[in-house]
Structure 1
Amino acid sequence: MQTNNYLLTDEQIIQFITQGYLVLHNELPNELHMKVMEEVHHVLMEEGNPGNNILPRVPDIQKFFETPVVKGALTGILGPDYYLHPHRHCHYNQPANQNPGGGQWHKDGYWSAMRSHRPWWAMVFYYTQAVTEELGPTAIMPGSQYNESYPGDDKPFLLPTGPAGTMVLVHFDLWHKASLNTSNMDRYMLKFQFARLNAPSKPDWNHKEELFQLPKGTSDTYLPLWQDIWSWLKGDTREDDDSKRAHLSLLASLVAAEEEGSALHGAYTLAEAGEEGAHELIKILQEGTSLSASRAVYGAIAAGAKAVPGLIGLLGHIDRERRSWACFALGMIGSPAKLVLPALMKALADESDQVRRQAAEAIGLVKEPSAQAIEALANTLIQAVVNEKQDSDSSLWLDQGYITNKIGYGAALSLLRVGKHGEAGVVISALSMALDSGDRYVRAYAFEALTYLRTTEAIDVLLRYYRTARWCPDTNKASMF
């Protein structure tokens, strides 16, 4: 059971919102970290990088994520039922004389149909040994998580350091890169990813201050965005505020600004301007440029229920991208469900694969969706698995190539989040079929969703799957038996 002593503070939550990272230290013995590093080194040298299999290959790693410090931090950012994603990787940074140049600034390839400002995803960088700047830790660019485009070489960056076992918890979209290892030692970093399964209904940290406190000396360019995330993490719903309705046309023009920070400031400020602000955001989504619409969608999410009627109307737009954005926003808002769910269920039959994928994922973001919505998700998952076997050359695979069945992926992820609210037999039937998908992440989500259901039928399916999928961490090319 999580104790309050290890939950995050208001100051730490604000740092994560504004800067996009937290450095964590736990009190596990150095001997354990050294043991893990030796095992990781052996695997890399003798078998190659195990990629997603690093955890079953070196099972002691799991102990690091079970410490109160790490569980408390992940709970504060992602909620108490966060999910350890099946994608993970071992990053091996050799000395500069063997691997000159370092890495390139980037965001990781994302798993949802769109990136989210609100923390539905996060990553942890774990260092097996004491890490110094000379050892080449992963460089991070504080505050860059809301920048879709690269902020520029003139922006400050940070090289997190610390003793063996140091973990850096980062917003999934934070810009980062491998820095140059100028030491004479190899550096190991294990990257793990985590997903939030439910929108917050209350603060999951040691919450004391009601209002967001802007850190001293910090620019207020992103203040409306930060305040929205702060309120969302507390489980607040946005109410009208008539005092903030001035200068709507100026704010609307600001959303079209080339500079990303100014555009997002305009979008989130419009979200605070009541019904009229929501109307302006929907107008931008309907008629604005693709760039301005892509920023307005975040404002529409922040506007909440006031934007829902306009977003539902947007589902009839001729542009599939805008229909897809509307699905994304409706799922993120999630209420009133009596309006949102029928619209998303209808979008599951859209002519565009992109829209259907987004609708499937969006249903999983709605709190306690109806049994009818869950059945629609199950049918979508079944059809997606059938279609992948019939047509492996679909244009659906043109982007996010690491997800080969995108509609099935979205439906399976949603059933992981909300499948328990549907009729168990219907859900289990779809998840059982998904275990035969050609997409490894569809299979992983289906497996995890079945463990959540825990019915006799679900356990029977899991046992059949486990017999062939079980990994032996001691088997390698040098072992005999």
Structure 2
Amino acid sequence: MATGRELLSDEQVQRFIVEGYLELPPCGDGITSPGLAFHEGIFNAALALGPEAEARGNNILPELPELVNVFESPQCKGALTSLLGPGYMMHPHRFCHKSEPGRQEQRWHRDTYWGHHHARSHCPYWVMALYYPQNTPLELGPTGILPRSQYFNRDQGRGHEHFGNGSFTSAEVAARRCWDLQARSLACPAGTIILIHYDLWHAGTANVSEDCVRFMFKFQFSRMVSPTKAPCSWICQNRTAHWQRFLEDEAAATPTEASHSGLFHYDVHSSSEGLVPVWQGVWDWMCGAAAVRTDAHTNNNNNSSTNSNNNTNNNNNDDVHMDLADLVSRLKEGDDANEPRRVASAWQLGRLAAGQAGLIAEVLAELHLDSANACQARAVSQMLVAIGPSALPLLLECPLWRHSPAVVHALGRIVDCCCERSSRFAAQKVLSDYLYAGSNCDDVRNCAAEALGCTEEQAGAWTLLDVLAYDPVADVRATACHSLLRLLEAGCMDDCLEGVRAAMLAAQKGDDNRYVAAYAAEGAHRIDHKLEALKRGDRSAMAPAPVIRWCSHGDGWLASDRRLGD
């Protein structure tokens, strides 16, 4: 297969930011990309597996290794590079979903983060790819989605899940009573790939056909490089985004779609305009901006010699504090129905406080991080990410963040877009000291290990190697290994590759968790590729194709252990 890439346009990236998904229509010519015969072959091979198609679990890739050609095609590689930056990684979790006649629709849900749980991010760190090898009309039960839902969490009824991973029992509850969204069924021709934001709410719809089987192969991909190092990884022709066209979009669903899919359809939710700061913030982040900036409500520190200027400044300060009080109160609102207001307020607060240490301290004090509930802590995390690097000094000095997984998660996301080496080094030291000191909270250790992977500091690698070897919790070890892969891709371990490779091989053979072993295998594979490139004097070699290996730890999808998918 060809190794070229077909990058996305500005409009496509902006549409993904707003809608949460992007459809890649089949365009295979059979030479550079898979053609129709290829897709038919995949369908027939999956059909021949019978019940084993789903039972293979993560091992569906080594069972059908030709699947890698779907995701290595120029179209798919270009789209994933555009959304996740260069060097992205194929996650070791994947699944073949089989829908037979009579299958009922699923609950609305979002997938868990397989191998390591962490707080969900508005910015695209993870993307899911849904591949359909056969024509999938509405009768076959295509995947249903709630466009624009990727920024919203559900807390009520979430059970044991940590990070807003509840589910809805019906489309009506999800679409009308909570967020007033419009559901859509992704009917598509054979060979289509749907890329969705990992946190987009979705569900498998009912298969109402008489005798047709539908397969959907779900693969996951994660970002390895900060957008500050690889900004605008698509064909960027204009860094000024235009969101008005998305506000004017009308519902595309038809009554026919609704009747076949069993989904409820409503007008586009009225809160779209409030999400513009979120869209703009994600766009700025993907363009490599170190912080979300706004010209509104900035403090004027110049001493003016005129009374009129002084009066203007005083009025602006009054407006700032009125806005602060209103936005902070929205962050404290409870229940799922208020989630759109919380999300919009978090980003508006971030834009308001960016670069203003006094306002940041005032907001953090008002929000009482030590007693915040799950939805409030998540909103604080989103606000801190929107503020950007100017929030780092307070976070590094304040002991309260050490007890909040959401805030530790935000620290890592902020560091990921911090251009100052001194700040990254300071964050690395605080996070390393904290991990070595230990914590009874697995989630905090998990988020700290994740944050270390964003520091681009070699010293953090030694901490992560110790976590990989000794932490008793598999999720934390898996996150540490994933963070080591990020540091590897950042190029900050080039002078210690052999030692890291030995540690990866030891984890691959000795760890009893399937995802730790899989990450370690991918790490050793990438290090081998990099060592060969360095021998040639090539320090800019692209990441290799994903390693294809059989997982000996079991499939992880036994009936007693099955989680939501599709």
TM-score tier (shorter): 0.7 to 0.9
Change (3 A) 1:68 1:48: closer
- The partner residue of 1:105 within 108, 115, 130 is 108
2:551 is equivalent to residue 454 of structure 1: no
* One-letter amino acid of the structure 2 residue matched with residue 372 of structure 1: A
Instruction: Decide whether the 8 Å contact of 1:26 with 1:69 is kept in 2.
Output: no
The whole-number CA distance in structure 2 between the counterparts of 1:102 and 1:470 is: 30
Aligned to 2:223: 196
The whole-number CA distance in structure 2 between the counterparts of 1:457 and 1:216 is: 47
* One-letter amino acid of the structure 2 residue matched with residue 169 of structure 1: L
* One-letter amino acid of the structure 1 residue matched with residue 428 of structure 2: L
2:425 is equivalent to residue 338 of structure 1: yes
Aligned to 2:328: 252
Aligned to 2:240: 211
TM-score (norm 1): 0.85
Change (3 A) 1:127 1:330: same
Aligned to 1:412: 481
2:233 is equivalent to residue 159 of structure 1: no
2:349 is equivalent to residue 270 of structure 1: yes
Q: Which moved more, 1:425-434 or 1:218-227?
A: 425-434
Q: Larger RCO: Structure 1 or Structure 2 (Cα < 8 Å, ≥ 6 residues apart)?
A: 2
Q: Which moved more, 1:13-22 or 1:146-155?
A: 146-155
Give how far 1:338 is off. 2.5
Please give the secondary structure, in 1, of the residue aligned with 2:184.
Answer: coil
Please give the secondary structure, in 2, of the residue aligned with 1:181.
Answer: coil
Aligned to 1:474: none
- The partner residue of 2:409 within 328, 351, 357 is 328
* One-letter amino acid of the structure 1 residue matched with residue 332 of structure 2: A
5+ residue gaps in structure 2? 29-34, 155-167, 248-271, 299-319, 534-546, 553-566
Structural mapping, 1:226-237, within 5 Å: 226-237=279-290
Please give the secondary structure, in 2, of the residue aligned with 1:220.
Answer: helix
The whole-number CA distance in structure 1 between the counterparts of 2:361 and 2:37 is: 59
Aligned to 1:391: none
Change (3 A) 1:33 1:343: same
The whole-number CA distance in structure 2 between the counterparts of 1:469 and 1:49 is: 14
Please give the secondary structure, in 2, of the residue aligned with 1:235.
Answer: coil
Aligned to 2:439: 351
Please give the secondary structure, in 2, of the residue aligned with 1:152.
Answer: helix
2:386 is equivalent to residue 302 of structure 1: yes
2:50 is equivalent to residue 44 of structure 1: yes
The whole-number CA distance in structure 1 between the counterparts of 2:425 and 2:525 is: 29
Please give the secondary structure, in 2, of the residue aligned with 1:260.
Answer: helix
Please give the secondary structure, in 2, of the residue aligned with 1:36.
Answer: helix
Q: Which moved more, 1:212-221 or 1:409-418?
A: 212-221
Give how far 1:171 is off. 0.3
Change (3 A) 1:47 1:176: closer
The whole-number CA distance in structure 2 between the counterparts of 1:84 and 1:41 is: 24
Identity %: 32
2:195 is equivalent to residue 169 of structure 1: yes
Aligned to 2:462: 375
Please give the secondary structure, in 1, of the residue aligned with 2:92.
Answer: strand
Instruction: Decide whether the 8 Å contact of 2:85 with 2:223 is kept in 1.
Output: yes
* One-letter amino acid of the structure 2 residue matched with residue 350 of structure 1: G
Please give the secondary structure, in 2, of the residue aligned with 1:190.
Answer: strand
The whole-number CA distance in structure 2 between the counterparts of 1:343 and 1:55 is: 40
Aligned to 1:144: 149
Instruction: Decide whether the 8 Å contact of 2:8 with 2:82 is kept in 1.
Output: yes
Q: What do the CA deviations read for 1:93-121 (whole angstroms, capped 9, x no partner)?
A: 1112xx3x221110001244211111110
TM-score (norm 2): 0.73
Give how far 1:220 is off. 1.4
Instruction: Decide whether the 8 Å contact of 2:432 with 2:460 is kept in 1.
Output: yes
Aligned to 1:17: 17
The whole-number CA distance in structure 1 between the counterparts of 2:482 and 2:532 is: 17
The whole-number CA distance in structure 2 between the counterparts of 1:136 and 1:304 is: 42
Change (3 A) 1:467 1:207: closer
Please give the secondary structure, in 2, of the residue aligned with 1:102.
Answer: coil
Aligned to 1:433: 506
Change (3 A) 1:252 1:85: same
Q: Which moved more, 1:151-160 or 1:28-37?
A: 151-160
Instruction: Decide whether the 8 Å contact of 1:44 with 1:50 is kept in 2.
Output: no
Aligned to 1:402: none
Aligned to 2:564: none
Q: What do the CA deviations read for 1:363-411 (whole angstroms, capped 9, x no partner)?
A: 1122x21x22111111121112xx4xxxxxxxx5xxxxxxxx0221111
Structural mapping, 1:68-79, within 5 Å: 68-79=74-85
Give how far 1:293 is off. 2.4
Q: What do the CA deviations read for 1:272-304 (whole angstroms, capped 9, x no partner)?
A: 123144334433253563232221111101211
Structural mapping, 1:24-63, within 5 Å: 24-28=24-28, 29-45=35-51, 49-63=55-69
Give me the CA root mean square deviation.
Answer: 2.6
The whole-number CA distance in structure 2 between the counterparts of 1:39 and 1:320 is: 50
Instruction: Decide whether the 8 Å contact of 1:25 with 1:69 is kept in 2.
Output: no
Change (3 A) 1:301 1:48: closer
2:369 is equivalent to residue 286 of structure 1: yes
- The partner residue of 2:99 within 87, 93, 103 is 93
Q: What do the CA deviations read for 1:306-350 (whole angstroms, capped 9, x no partner)?
A: 111222234x22x8641x233211211113213211111122123
The whole-number CA distance in structure 2 between the counterparts of 1:342 and 1:46 is: 48
Aligned to 1:224: 277
The whole-number CA distance in structure 2 between the counterparts of 1:326 and 1:266 is: 17
2:123 is equivalent to residue 118 of structure 1: yes
The whole-number CA distance in structure 2 between the counterparts of 1:145 and 1:456 is: 35
Give how far 1:362 is off. 0.9
2:450 is equivalent to residue 361 of structure 1: yes
* One-letter amino acid of the structure 2 residue matched with residue 286 of structure 1: L
Instruction: Decide whether the 8 Å contact of 1:124 with 1:170 is kept in 2.
Output: yes
Aligned to 1:424: 497
Aligned to 1:462: none
Change (3 A) 1:43 1:280: farther
Please give the secondary structure, in 2, of the residue aligned with 1:144.
Answer: coil
Aligned to 1:312: 396
